[in-house]
Each structure stands twice: as structure tokens, then as C-alpha cells.
Structure 1
Amino acid sequence: MAVVTKFGEVMILKDMIDDFRIETLVRSIATVSGDDISVCDHPMTGKQYREAIIPGAISYALEIGQLLRKAQETNTSGLTVTAQIASKMGGKVLFHGTVTDMPWELRDGFQFGDIYLAGIDAYQGEEYQITFKNENIASYRNGSIDITVPDLICMIDKNGLPMTTPDFQIGDEMNVLALPAPEMWRCQKGLEVFGPRYFGIDADYVPFDSSR
């Protein structure tokens, strides 16, 4: 693994015990570097990539990117492109609202926090919450669990651009949608390492129903 800090320091880490050990070391480097480092890790051969990458993942991401680009070119609203992505990619629109609060902190090299939304339009009078640890881990509608990892909880602004935590402000308009996790993450072994309980969420994983 190669690590570069914002101060220009370059480190090469090799012959590590395992992934867990190197993760601990790199998070420590991030903590003492203002949580601003770049990492290049896990060099692999083409054969290893074919065995490790989820089939179709790159094409899936490319198709979403094409939908977002077309939305920008045609000035399509964020709400419309959110619905288009959900429909085309087997997902589900979850919420449309404005950010009312976003308490978060940097701890152990991670961003921990919650995003709180107040519903607008069809979601008027409802509340939504997204819990994150760098990435979105779980979401709650009116206090009840809605979506959890390994399914994806994605955010798009009113102009059809992706919203990434914590790069938005209170009052920003947000569209939330879910995209289904690949099957390998939804099996028993996948849920053991990337399910809600692994992240301390007191709920079992339940795949969402895109038709409802």
C-alpha cells in the first residue's frame, strides 16, 4: 500500500500481517494527518481482478453515470433523475426533503454522524434520518428502520448531482434513493462482514421492495 499525506509525506507499507492490521495503521496515519490522506492499495493481477470484482459492477456504475450526465445536459430536476435511476437500476425512491441537521465528528479516522431531513412535496410532514460511518449505513423513516447496508443509500441534490457526506449544508434539498446490493453481499457470509449488525445497527437485513 502507498500512502500520501497532505503534507507531502509518502509511505510504502509492505509485508503486512493482514488487512485488519494495515487498516489500523492507515487509520492512525489519517488521524494524525487531519483526516486527509490518499491511499493506493491491493495491487492485483488481471486474473485476481476477474476473481474478485463483482461481474457487471463497472458497467452498472457507468450506466448510472450516463443517466446523471444526460440529466445535466437536459436540465432534468433532481427528483426526476432520482426516479429514473431507481426505475432503470432496480432501485427505489426513499425520500425528498431538506436537510435540517447533520451532527457529525471525526473519530479514529472515520466520519461518524447522522443526516436529518424534513419532507417536502409528497413527503410533507414526514421525517427521515440517515446514519453514516464515512458511507451511509442505515436510514430511518419517521423513527423506524427503512434501509440498511449492504443495500446502497444514495443522495442526489435538486439539480441532479450526487451529494456526498459531509459536503452539503443545512437547508439543502436532497433526494434519497436505494439501490440493491449484489447477491454476494446479501448471502450469510456477506452479511456477517457488511450487514447492519456488523456496524452496530440493531436490526436484521431486509431487502427492500422496489415495487412499493
Structure 2
Amino acid sequence: MAWTLSVEDLGYLAIGCAMLGSGGGGEPHYAVTLLKAILARGAEIRIIDPSELSDDALAVNVGFVGAPITLTEKLIMDGEIVQAIAAMRGRLNAPIDALIAAEIGGFNGLVPLIAAGLTGLPVIDADGMGRAFPRSDHVTFAICGLSAVPTVVSGEGGETVVIENASTAKAEALVRALSVAMGSKCFSVDYPLSGRDVRAHAVPRTVSLARDIGRYLRDAASAPGDPFETLRAALRVRWGLSCELLFEGSITAREHDTKGGFDVGTAIVKRAGNVDDTLRIDFQNEFLVAWKDGNAVASTPDIISVLDSHTLLPITSDAIRYGQRVKVVAMSAPALMRTPRALEVVGPRAFGYDIDYRPVDTRHHAQ
């Protein structure tokens, strides 16, 4: 069930990770450029199934922290990745057996592959969210009660910070503050996990899912008939996922600000020929709630994505621009993110919205 990353996989993974990012996680195409260079140097990057880990294997959670727009403006340095993993290995005084993504969405879905190419470690076909979320304590590992510490944070200037003896919430706050201090971008290694932990608490086979979604979107865009229906059918048949079209129109406004390391704002979509028919999408790095006529038609933890109407390529929240023709879609969240315990952390109320979560697969959407 293990597989080796190829150059052909990269394009599919970039698209799939962007879709699963729900608008956040950072623009993945820069990561593709880095990975192409790493593969060209002869690196072999292996993706292994969670079932291949021994119970006592040691894995660590890796990813960049910061505002997504920063990741498009600042170069990633090999040293900040390698030094953080080496520091975690030294702190744990044990060999690290594998890497796992904090989130499969966006740029961060590809970061473990970059780290694998630099260190020779394999990447687990799983992640901690099944999508992207704004904070590092939004991972399934935290929701299930596992500790984030020790946490190692590294910056582009060579600085390395180890966080000890902190609650998971406090570790997240410290990492977020360090991210701001390090230029709104830092690399984090946290949540030391056993193989047993990974199988019990990670969202499985999401690297493979991202690769498949990329293929589906490419195939759907060139298929005869309704391309969205082609995508929808493939996700339902092959992965058992619901994907619904919420709205189609043009972007007429986007307001945003960077606050505390997050890109926060709203986007407005209007249907052609009817200026009163609009959809509003709120985001905090990721798209959190879609509103129509004052009612929430989709919300976190379901995956709200904005796709280019012609190409079906996902558009991240920081890349939304006036005049883009888009389809707004919602895909069902992983089961681990839909439990009552998870909804307390990643449901709409956790982000300050006075609404209950209604799964996309239970709704009927007027388009």
C-alpha cells in the first residue's frame, strides 16, 4: 500500500490539497516547485499507509504556521525544516520513523513531502484534519486529548525554540506568537505520536485522497456534460464523499485583514443577471461559513471550496479577486471531525457563529 512520489503526482496533489484546504493552508504550487527540484536531485519520497507502522513507531506532526499570504511572499529555507526535525529528534532522544501532515489542505499538505525529501523519512498517508484549519490545536490529535509538547519552532533566520510543559492551547498560542515574531511564518514540529496513536486518531489516506481529487478535477474539466457532476460522482463512488454545488456567479467584493497571524475577511459572489442573488463566504484563512439570504448554507467542518468555473481549479482565500467566475462547493468533512467532541473545537460555534452544524450531505441546496 506504500507508494513513491512521482513528478506526475505533484500536479494532482497540488490541486487536491488546494481543494481540501477549504481556501486555506497556503498556496500549494510553490511547494510543487520545491518538490520538483528535490526529486530532480534524486530524492525518493515514500508515502506509507498507517497500517505499515508498528505500534511503537515514532512519528511527528509537521507544518508551517502563519498567514497563508505570507507563504506566497517568502521563500522556504531548507535549514528551517531540517533543523527543527533534528532538534525534535534530539529532544526526544529517539529516532523519528515517519512524518505526518498537520493538515492535508493547501501548502501544508505538501510540506511533509518536502521534509521527507530533505531528511529521507517516509510520509504517512494520513493527516490531523482531513482538510485545513487555522490553528495547530484544531488537529484530531488535540481533540482526542494528545499533547502537542514538546513543540519545536524554527524560523528562517536559524532561530529554534522548544516549548515544554505547556497545555496544548498554550502551545498553540505560543507558536502563533512566535510565528508573528518570525515574520508571520515559522516551521513547527509537534505532537510526537506512536504508530498506535496514528491509527487511532489520524484521518487516514488523505494524501491518496488529495491525489485522486486532483485527477478527478482535471478529468472533470475536460469531460463532456456537466463537469461538476463528473466530479461529484467520482467522489461519491470512489471515496463515499458528498460534494454539493452551493452557488455559481462572479466575485464582486473581497474584504480582508491580517490579524494575529490569520487572514480574516469575507468574499461576495453574485449571480450573473441578478444582483440581488448573492452568496457571502466568511473566512479565517479557511472558508468557515457560506451565507445565502441570511441563512448558513454550509459551515465548518465541511469543506467549502471556491473553484474556477471554467477550469475547476480551486482558488485560495487570499487569491480571490474581483470578476472571477466561480463555483462555490461544499464537501463532507471526515467522520473524525464530525463527532460532538470535534464540533466543540471546529464547529461553527467554536469560531463565534451562533449556528449549529448541519452536514452538507443532509442539505438540499438551491443553486
d(CA) in 1 for partners of 2:275 and 2:233?
23
The answer (yes or no) to whether the contact 2:262–2:284 under 8 Å persists in 1 is yes
Q: Measured at CA, do residues 207 and 28 of structure 1 come closer, stay the same or move farther in structure 2, by a change above 3 Å?
A: same
d(CA) in 2 for partners of 1:60 and 1:210?
24
Q: Determine which of 175, 192, 196 is the counterpart of 2:348.
A: 196
The answer (yes or no) to whether the contact 1:86–1:93 under 8 Å persists in 2 is no
1:205 corresponds to? 357
The answer (yes or no) to whether the contact 1:139–1:146 under 8 Å persists in 2 is yes
Q: Which has the higher contact order (CA 8 A, sep 6+)?
A: 2
Q: Measured at CA, do residues 80 and 164 of structure 1 come closer, stay the same or move farther in structure 2, by a change above 3 Å?
A: farther
User: SS at 2:153's partner residue?
Assistant: strand
Structure holding more helix per residue: 2
Q: Determine which of 170, 173, 182 is the counterpart of 2:322.
A: 170
d(CA) in 1 for partners of 2:170 and 2:245?
38
Is it true that 1:98 corresponds to 2:98 in the alignment? no
d(CA) in 2 for partners of 1:14 and 1:29?
11
Worse overlay, 194-203 or 36-45: 36-45
Is it true that 1:3 corresponds to 2:153 in the alignment? yes
d(CA) in 1 for partners of 2:165 and 2:277?
49
d(CA) in 1 for partners of 2:197 and 2:189?
17
1:13 corresponds to? 162
The answer (yes or no) to whether the contact 1:98–1:120 under 8 Å persists in 2 is yes
Q: TM-score, normalised by structure 1?
A: 0.84
The answer (yes or no) to whether the contact 1:82–1:156 under 8 Å persists in 2 is no
The answer (yes or no) to whether the contact 1:139–1:147 under 8 Å persists in 2 is yes
What is the CA-CA distance between 1:56 and the residue it aligns to?
4.5
2:230 corresponds to? 84
Q: Measured at CA, do residues 195 and 41 of structure 1 come closer, stay the same or move farther in structure 2, by a change above 3 Å?
A: same
Q: Matches of residues 31-50 of structure 1 in structure 2 within 5 Å? A: 31-50=180-199
What is the CA-CA distance between 1:103 and the residue it aligns to?
0.7
Q: Measured at CA, do residues 60 and 211 of structure 1 come closer, stay the same or move farther in structure 2, by a change above 3 Å?
A: farther
Deviations 1:144-168 (A, max 9, x none): 2111111110111132211111123
What is the CA-CA distance between 1:210 and the residue it aligns to?
5.9
d(CA) in 1 for partners of 2:301 and 2:160?
32
Give percent identity, aligned residues only. Answer: 27
d(CA) in 2 for partners of 1:109 and 1:145?
26
1:54 corresponds to? 203
1:156 corresponds to? 307
Q: Matches of residues 128-167 of structure 1 in structure 2 within 5 Å? A: 128-157=279-308, 158-167=310-319
2:334 corresponds to? 182
The answer (yes or no) to whether the contact 2:266–2:280 under 8 Å persists in 1 is yes
Gaps of 5+ in 1: none
Q: TM-score, normalised by structure 2?
A: 0.51
What is the CA-CA distance between 1:190 and the residue it aligns to?
1.8
